[in-house]
Amino acid sequence: MTESTDPQALFLDDLTIGQTFESETYRVGEEQIKAFAREFDPQPFHLDDTAAKNSVFSGLAASGWHTAAITMRLITGIRPIFGSGVIGLGAEIAWPRPVRPDDVLRVVMKIAEIIPSRTRPDRGVVAMYCETFNQRGEVVQTLKPKLVMYRRGALRT
């Protein structure tokens, strides 16, 4: 593993509790929803308009796992980047509202906690709180990941 050569990359020592980051936006297409569902979550409310209308969603809805994948894509595109990458240790996730065709998503991440390692001084754990919003400002996903973050210079370049 090597650290980023981006001079603006952020490392453990650069982060503060309460610091926020916002992603670019991403438009979710109907065919993309169905294609993801066909491969990874083949349930009628993700695949078929008629079945979806008669479901709890009252219309076609993206899989929560599709929303999570888009969220990850948006997180990895946030600038400045995390110099050691986005290395997850686990997360708590919820989908309070479905993602619909033509929704435009964006992610806001906030640093909730920074825990330097007691046994490995070159790294720590950063707890984040991430919300994925649609174009109406409605939260479609909450994610509470814990990430391994390295100190600047800890990784070989």
Q: What percent of the chain has pLDDT over 90?
A: 85
| pLDDT number for residue 128 | 97
The CATH number of the domain covering residues in 12-150: 3.10.129.10
Contact assessment for residue 15 and residue 109, using Cβ atoms and an 8 Å cutoff:
no
Burial 66-79 (b: 16+ CB within 10 A, else e): bbbebbbebbeebe
**Amino acid occupying residue 78:** I
**Mean pLDDT value across residues 94-106:** 98
DSSP letter at 28 equals P
Is the pTM for the entire model greater than 0.85?
Answer: yes
Spans of all domains in the chain: 12-150
Q: Is the pLDDT of residue 157 over 60?
A: no
CA Rg, the chain, in Å? 18
Q: By the 8 A CB rule, do 104 and 123 touch?
A: no
pLDDT at position 1:
66
Residue 143's DSSP bridge partners are 93, 130
